[in-house]
Amino acid sequence: MNSPQTEERVVATIIALAGSHDVVRAALTDLVAATRTEEGCVSYELFESAASAGTFITVETWRSAADLAEHMTTPHIAAALAAVDGHLAQPPGIHPLTHVA
């Protein structure tokens, strides 16, 4: 019998304003490098939608919900949020996932 899932999986969507794609892309690229060094980070990938330029998506796996919560308090998250301030169409959408099948 498999043990229950303890890892925390998250998808985040970040949508840049028109004309701000490069600013947001650069801030998120910097965030990826720093995030991957966190002890609780299992994986952290950044994508840009091929169907909607300027729509960025992170696909994340954390060791635990506590590790994800800690990530949200890091200096590199604060720096990324400061860098994209005024460049987003809406606040980032953070979607913790529940395994269905």
What digits encode the pLDDT tens for the residues 45-96?
A: 999 999 999 999 999 999 999 999 999 999 999 999 999 999 999 999 999 9
CATH of the domain at 32: 3.30.70.100
Which of helix, strand or coil describes residue 84? Answer: helix
CB 94 within 8 A of CB 10: yes
Q: Does residue 101 fall inside a structural domain?
A: no
Domain ranges, residue 31: 8-96
- CB-based burial, 24-51: b 16+ in 10 Å, e otherwise: bbebbeebeebbeebebbeebebebeee
Token code pair at residue 28 = 């998120």
Q: Does residue 2 fall inside a structural domain?
A: no
Say what the pTM is. 0.89
Q: Does residue 74 fall inside a structural domain?
A: yes
Distance of alpha carbon 22 from alpha carbon 86, whole angstroms: 13
